[in-house]
Amino acid sequence: MATGPIPEPDRRYRCSWRRFAGIVALFAGLGPLLGMVIAAPLAFGDVFELLRFGRADPLKGLIFVVFLGIVVGFAAGWIQGIVVGIVMALWYRHTGAIPLVLAALCGLAALAVPLGLGLPDFGGKEPMRVETPAQYTILVAAHIVAATACAALARRMLR
């Protein structure tokens, strides 16, 4: 049995602040967009109402609703994305790995932000109504899937 010194693991990934900032930027930029795509069914009733707004062409109304959804997604989720990104980047600097389970748990913990503070209120009307267990399930899935997808993409990019 050969006994020699155990080689030290390569620690170059831990020293890079660019990777840290890249992970945070990935979660802050892509997380709210993915979450809004998944949570979009919660706002379908408002979509049809907005499409009938004025005498606008249905295609123009749909484009307006898509841009409005992107703006609402970032307005409601960028803080959550930054917080989850910071946690995942700190974990990466400490261990050198980005676990999907931790990302899912962080996404679930980030759900406490909008539920604790209340969903945004624009002009006296909530953009997303969350009243039934099915709607809460969609909101939970949006947070978990968005965080897990961002973590999988970060793992892929950092190989």
Reported pTM: 0.72
Q: How far is CA 16 from CA 23, 29, 102, in A?
A: 11, 20, 21
Dihedral angle of Cα 147, 74, 137, 133, to the nearest 10 degrees = 160
Give residue-wise pLDDT tens across range 24-55.
999 999 998 888 877 766 665 555 565 565 56
Quick check: 86 and 42 in contact, CB under 8 A? no
Answer yes or no: are the C-beta atoms of 119 and 128 closer than 8 Å.
Answer: yes
CB atoms within 10 A of CB 102: 18
Give residue-wise pLDDT tens across range 107-159: 988 887 666 665 555 555 555 556 777 777 888 888 899 999 999 999 998 87
Q: In Å, how far from its chain's centre is CA 51?
A: 27
